[in-house]
Amino acid sequence: MTENLNVRYVPTWCPGCGNFGIFTALKKAFSLLDLDPEQTALVTGIGCSSKIAQYINTYRIETLHGRTLPVATGVKLANHRLAVIAEGGDGDGMGLGMGHFIHTARRNLNITYIIHNNQIYGLTKGQTSPTSDLGAITKFTPPPRGNVEQPINIVQTALQAGASFVARSTAADSQLADILAQAISHRGFSVVDILQPCVSFNHINTYQWYQERVYRLNTLPDYNPADFTAASAVAGQWGDKIPVGLLYRTDRPTFEDSLPQLATGALVEHSLQDISVAALMDELA
Protein backbone atom coordinates (compact mmCIF):
# COMPACT_ATOMS: atom_id res chain seq x y z
CA MET A 1 0.00 0.00 0.00
CA THR A 2 1.34 3.45 -0.89
CA GLU A 3 0.92 6.10 1.79
CA ASN A 4 -0.80 9.30 0.67
CA LEU A 5 1.67 11.99 1.69
CA ASN A 6 -0.86 14.72 0.91
CA VAL A 7 -3.12 13.73 3.81
CA ARG A 8 -3.39 16.55 6.35
CA TYR A 9 -3.46 15.36 9.94
CA VAL A 10 -5.32 17.76 12.23
CA PRO A 11 -4.50 17.68 15.96
CA THR A 12 -7.39 16.51 18.11
CA TRP A 13 -6.35 18.35 21.29
CA CYS A 14 -8.84 20.60 23.05
CA PRO A 15 -8.76 24.25 21.88
CA GLY A 16 -6.26 26.10 24.06
CA CYS A 17 -4.41 22.94 25.12
CA GLY A 18 -0.76 23.47 26.04
CA ASN A 19 0.20 20.68 23.65
CA PHE A 20 -0.12 23.11 20.75
CA GLY A 21 2.65 25.31 22.17
CA ILE A 22 4.92 22.31 22.78
CA PHE A 23 4.21 20.99 19.28
CA THR A 24 5.17 24.33 17.72
CA ALA A 25 8.33 24.62 19.83
CA LEU A 26 9.42 21.07 18.98
CA LYS A 27 9.05 21.74 15.24
CA LYS A 28 11.08 24.95 15.67
CA ALA A 29 13.78 23.02 17.54
CA PHE A 30 13.95 20.47 14.72
CA SER A 31 14.36 23.34 12.28
CA LEU A 32 17.02 25.08 14.38
CA LEU A 33 19.06 21.87 14.47
CA ASP A 34 18.28 20.99 10.84
CA LEU A 35 17.48 17.44 11.95
CA ASP A 36 17.20 14.83 9.23
CA PRO A 37 13.75 13.18 9.62
CA GLU A 38 15.24 9.89 8.43
CA GLN A 39 17.85 10.01 11.20
CA THR A 40 15.42 11.00 13.94
CA ALA A 41 13.19 8.71 16.01
CA LEU A 42 10.35 9.96 18.21
CA VAL A 43 9.20 7.46 20.85
CA THR A 44 6.00 8.29 22.74
CA GLY A 45 3.82 6.82 25.43
CA ILE A 46 0.04 6.89 25.76
CA GLY A 47 -1.96 10.04 26.48
CA CYS A 48 -3.03 13.34 24.95
CA SER A 49 0.59 14.50 24.74
CA SER A 50 1.75 11.40 22.88
CA LYS A 51 -0.49 12.16 19.92
CA ILE A 52 2.26 14.61 18.93
CA ALA A 53 4.08 11.79 17.12
CA GLN A 54 1.21 11.58 14.64
CA TYR A 55 1.81 15.17 13.52
CA ILE A 56 5.60 15.19 13.04
CA ASN A 57 7.29 13.65 10.01
CA THR A 58 9.97 11.46 11.58
CA TYR A 59 10.30 7.79 12.40
CA ARG A 60 8.02 7.18 15.36
CA ILE A 61 6.90 4.49 17.77
CA GLU A 62 3.86 4.85 20.02
CA THR A 63 4.46 2.46 22.89
CA LEU A 64 2.52 1.05 25.81
CA HIS A 65 1.62 3.33 28.71
CA GLY A 66 4.69 4.04 30.80
CA ARG A 67 7.08 2.13 28.53
CA THR A 68 8.47 5.05 26.53
CA LEU A 69 12.01 4.97 27.87
CA PRO A 70 12.78 1.23 27.56
CA VAL A 71 11.63 1.33 23.94
CA ALA A 72 13.69 4.49 23.34
CA THR A 73 16.65 2.68 24.92
CA GLY A 74 16.22 -0.20 22.49
CA VAL A 75 16.08 2.16 19.53
CA LYS A 76 19.21 3.99 20.69
CA LEU A 77 21.22 0.82 21.25
CA ALA A 78 20.13 -0.67 17.93
CA ASN A 79 21.25 2.44 16.07
CA HIS A 80 23.11 4.90 18.27
CA ARG A 81 23.59 7.25 15.32
CA LEU A 82 19.92 8.26 15.46
CA ALA A 83 18.68 11.30 17.34
CA VAL A 84 16.26 9.62 19.75
CA ILE A 85 13.60 11.73 21.44
CA ALA A 86 11.26 10.22 24.01
CA GLU A 87 8.08 12.07 24.87
CA GLY A 88 5.07 11.61 27.12
CA GLY A 89 2.96 13.03 29.92
CA ASP A 90 3.55 13.33 33.65
CA GLY A 91 1.21 10.40 34.31
CA ASP A 92 2.90 8.24 31.69
CA GLY A 93 6.43 8.97 32.89
CA MET A 94 6.05 9.48 36.63
CA GLY A 95 3.48 6.70 37.20
CA LEU A 96 4.06 3.41 35.41
CA GLY A 97 7.24 4.79 33.87
CA MET A 98 8.97 5.97 37.05
CA GLY A 99 11.27 2.96 37.36
CA HIS A 100 12.38 3.33 33.77
CA PHE A 101 12.95 7.07 34.32
CA ILE A 102 15.31 6.46 37.25
CA HIS A 103 17.42 3.85 35.48
CA THR A 104 17.63 5.73 32.17
CA ALA A 105 18.88 8.78 34.06
CA ARG A 106 21.55 6.93 36.01
CA ARG A 107 22.77 5.17 32.84
CA ASN A 108 23.00 8.52 31.04
CA LEU A 109 21.78 7.24 27.70
CA ASN A 110 22.04 9.80 24.92
CA ILE A 111 18.27 10.34 24.75
CA THR A 112 16.14 13.46 25.13
CA TYR A 113 13.04 13.03 27.29
CA ILE A 114 10.31 15.65 26.92
CA ILE A 115 7.63 15.52 29.63
CA HIS A 116 4.29 17.31 29.14
CA ASN A 117 3.47 18.07 32.78
CA ASN A 118 -0.15 19.18 33.19
CA GLN A 119 -0.49 17.69 36.70
CA ILE A 120 -3.54 15.66 35.68
CA TYR A 121 -4.57 12.60 33.68
CA GLY A 122 -6.27 14.35 30.76
CA LEU A 123 -7.01 11.52 28.33
CA THR A 124 -8.91 9.54 30.98
CA LYS A 125 -10.89 12.59 32.09
CA GLY A 126 -9.24 14.24 35.04
CA GLN A 127 -7.79 11.94 37.68
CA THR A 128 -4.91 13.25 39.77
CA SER A 129 -1.48 12.29 38.43
CA PRO A 130 1.79 11.70 40.32
CA THR A 131 2.61 15.42 39.93
CA SER A 132 -0.78 16.78 41.12
CA ASP A 133 -0.47 19.22 44.02
CA LEU A 134 -1.34 18.11 47.53
CA GLY A 135 -5.03 18.84 48.15
CA ALA A 136 -5.93 19.06 44.45
CA ILE A 137 -9.69 18.70 44.01
CA THR A 138 -10.91 16.52 41.15
CA LYS A 139 -13.95 14.30 40.55
CA PHE A 140 -11.79 11.41 41.79
CA THR A 141 -10.28 13.27 44.79
CA PRO A 142 -13.27 15.21 46.15
CA PRO A 143 -13.34 17.76 48.95
CA PRO A 144 -12.67 18.27 51.74
CA ARG A 145 -9.31 16.47 51.55
CA GLY A 146 -8.62 16.33 47.83
CA ASN A 147 -5.37 14.68 46.75
CA VAL A 148 -3.58 13.15 49.74
CA GLU A 149 -0.46 11.96 47.90
CA GLN A 150 2.78 13.94 47.90
CA PRO A 151 3.55 15.21 44.37
CA ILE A 152 6.70 14.26 42.46
CA ASN A 153 9.02 17.11 41.53
CA ILE A 154 10.28 16.02 38.10
CA VAL A 155 13.42 18.17 37.87
CA GLN A 156 14.43 17.36 41.42
CA THR A 157 14.00 13.64 40.75
CA ALA A 158 15.94 13.88 37.47
CA LEU A 159 18.87 15.56 39.22
CA GLN A 160 19.03 13.00 42.00
CA ALA A 161 18.77 10.10 39.55
CA GLY A 162 21.74 11.32 37.50
CA ALA A 163 20.39 13.06 34.39
CA SER A 164 23.19 15.11 32.84
CA PHE A 165 20.88 17.81 31.39
CA VAL A 166 17.84 19.06 33.32
CA ALA A 167 15.60 21.93 32.28
CA ARG A 168 12.11 23.24 32.91
CA SER A 169 9.92 25.42 30.76
CA THR A 170 6.26 26.17 30.09
CA ALA A 171 4.10 25.51 27.06
CA ALA A 172 3.81 29.27 26.48
CA ASP A 173 7.53 30.05 26.94
CA SER A 174 9.07 31.92 24.00
CA GLN A 175 12.39 30.23 24.86
CA LEU A 176 11.01 26.68 24.79
CA ALA A 177 12.25 25.91 21.26
CA ASP A 178 15.78 26.95 22.22
CA ILE A 179 15.67 24.82 25.40
CA LEU A 180 14.51 21.81 23.40
CA ALA A 181 17.27 22.38 20.84
CA GLN A 182 19.86 22.48 23.64
CA ALA A 183 18.46 19.28 25.13
CA ILE A 184 18.55 17.41 21.82
CA SER A 185 22.10 18.63 21.14
CA HIS A 186 23.37 17.56 24.56
CA ARG A 187 25.24 14.27 24.62
CA GLY A 188 23.65 12.41 27.49
CA PHE A 189 20.24 11.95 29.11
CA SER A 190 18.34 15.23 28.78
CA VAL A 191 15.13 15.87 30.71
CA VAL A 192 12.84 18.79 29.88
CA ASP A 193 9.90 19.25 32.27
CA ILE A 194 7.30 21.38 30.44
CA LEU A 195 4.58 22.88 32.61
CA GLN A 196 1.48 22.61 30.47
CA PRO A 197 -2.06 23.78 31.27
CA CYS A 198 -4.90 21.31 30.77
CA VAL A 199 -7.78 23.62 29.90
CA SER A 200 -10.42 20.88 30.31
CA PHE A 201 -9.56 19.20 33.61
CA ASN A 202 -7.05 21.34 35.54
CA HIS A 203 -8.51 24.77 36.26
CA ILE A 204 -5.90 25.67 38.87
CA ASN A 205 -2.55 25.45 37.05
CA THR A 206 -3.58 27.72 34.18
CA TYR A 207 -1.53 29.90 31.83
CA GLN A 208 -2.11 32.85 34.16
CA TRP A 209 -1.20 30.80 37.25
CA TYR A 210 2.18 29.93 35.74
CA GLN A 211 2.76 33.44 34.37
CA GLU A 212 2.41 34.89 37.87
CA ARG A 213 4.95 32.48 39.35
CA VAL A 214 7.70 31.51 36.93
CA TYR A 215 11.04 33.27 36.80
CA ARG A 216 13.98 32.68 34.45
CA LEU A 217 17.16 31.25 35.88
CA ASN A 218 19.23 32.97 33.18
CA THR A 219 18.25 36.34 34.71
CA LEU A 220 20.05 35.48 37.95
CA PRO A 221 23.56 36.98 37.70
CA ASP A 222 25.31 34.32 39.76
CA TYR A 223 23.47 31.19 38.71
CA ASN A 224 25.72 28.51 37.21
CA PRO A 225 23.98 25.48 35.61
CA ALA A 226 27.17 23.46 36.09
CA ASP A 227 26.76 23.74 39.88
CA PHE A 228 24.84 20.66 41.06
CA THR A 229 24.29 22.06 44.55
CA ALA A 230 22.77 25.27 43.19
CA ALA A 231 20.61 23.32 40.75
CA SER A 232 19.33 21.08 43.55
CA ALA A 233 18.42 24.12 45.64
CA VAL A 234 16.33 25.86 42.98
CA ALA A 235 14.79 22.59 41.74
CA GLY A 236 12.91 22.28 45.02
CA GLN A 237 11.14 25.62 44.60
CA TRP A 238 7.43 25.34 43.85
CA GLY A 239 4.34 27.42 44.58
CA ASP A 240 4.95 31.16 44.77
CA LYS A 241 8.21 30.91 42.80
CA ILE A 242 8.88 28.39 40.03
CA PRO A 243 12.26 28.43 38.22
CA VAL A 244 12.35 27.85 34.46
CA GLY A 245 15.27 27.47 32.09
CA LEU A 246 18.40 25.32 32.21
CA LEU A 247 18.84 24.03 35.75
CA TYR A 248 21.80 21.73 35.25
CA ARG A 249 24.19 20.49 32.59
CA THR A 250 27.31 18.38 32.86
CA ASP A 251 29.37 16.22 30.56
CA ARG A 252 30.02 12.60 31.47
CA PRO A 253 30.32 9.37 29.46
CA THR A 254 27.10 8.03 28.04
CA PHE A 255 25.93 4.44 28.41
CA GLU A 256 26.69 3.85 24.74
CA ASP A 257 30.30 4.94 25.28
CA SER A 258 30.81 1.98 27.61
CA LEU A 259 29.71 -0.64 25.09
CA PRO A 260 32.54 -2.07 22.97
CA GLN A 261 29.94 -3.62 20.64
CA LEU A 262 29.15 -0.12 19.35
CA ALA A 263 32.74 0.96 18.76
CA THR A 264 32.91 -0.48 15.24
CA GLY A 265 29.50 0.76 14.14
CA ALA A 266 25.81 0.67 14.89
CA LEU A 267 24.31 -2.73 15.67
CA VAL A 268 21.97 -2.43 12.69
CA GLU A 269 25.05 -2.27 10.45
CA HIS A 270 26.43 -5.60 11.71
CA SER A 271 25.84 -8.74 9.71
CA LEU A 272 24.17 -11.58 11.56
CA GLN A 273 26.16 -13.98 9.40
CA ASP A 274 29.34 -12.86 11.14
CA ILE A 275 27.99 -13.77 14.57
CA SER A 276 28.84 -17.19 15.97
CA VAL A 277 27.73 -18.52 19.35
CA ALA A 278 29.78 -21.69 19.01
CA ALA A 279 32.46 -20.56 21.46
CA LEU A 280 29.83 -19.55 24.02
CA MET A 281 28.03 -22.87 23.69
CA ASP A 282 31.31 -24.76 24.12
CA GLU A 283 32.05 -22.74 27.24
CA LEU A 284 28.65 -23.58 28.74
CA ALA A 285 28.77 -27.26 27.80
**Structural domains of the chain, with CATH:** 19-284 (3.40.50.970)
Q: Residue 79 half-sphere exposure, CB side, CA atoms within 13 Å?
A: 12
Q: What is the pLDDT of residue 3?
A: 52
Cis peptide bond prior to 144, omega within 30° of 0: yes
Q: What is the pLDDT of residue 1?
A: 42
CA 197/CA 110 separation, integer angstroms = 29
Q: What is the pLDDT of residue 280?
A: 79
Burial class of residue 4, CB neighbours in 10 A (0-12, 13-18, 19+): exposed
Strand order in the sheet with 40-44: 59-62, 40-44, 83-89, 112-117, 190-195, 165-170, 242-249, 214-216
The pLDDT tens digits of the residues spanning 151-204 come to 999 999 999 999 999 999 999 999 999 999 999 999 999 999 999 999 999 999
Q: What is the pLDDT of residue 278?
A: 83
Q: What is the pLDDT of residue 44?
A: 95
Q: What is the pTM of this model?
A: 0.92
- Contact call for residues 132 and 120 (beta carbons, < 8 A): yes
CA 139/CA 146 separation, integer angstroms = 9
- Segments of the chain scoring below 50 in pLDDT: 1-2
Burial class of residue 285, CB neighbours in 10 A (0-12, 13-18, 19+): exposed
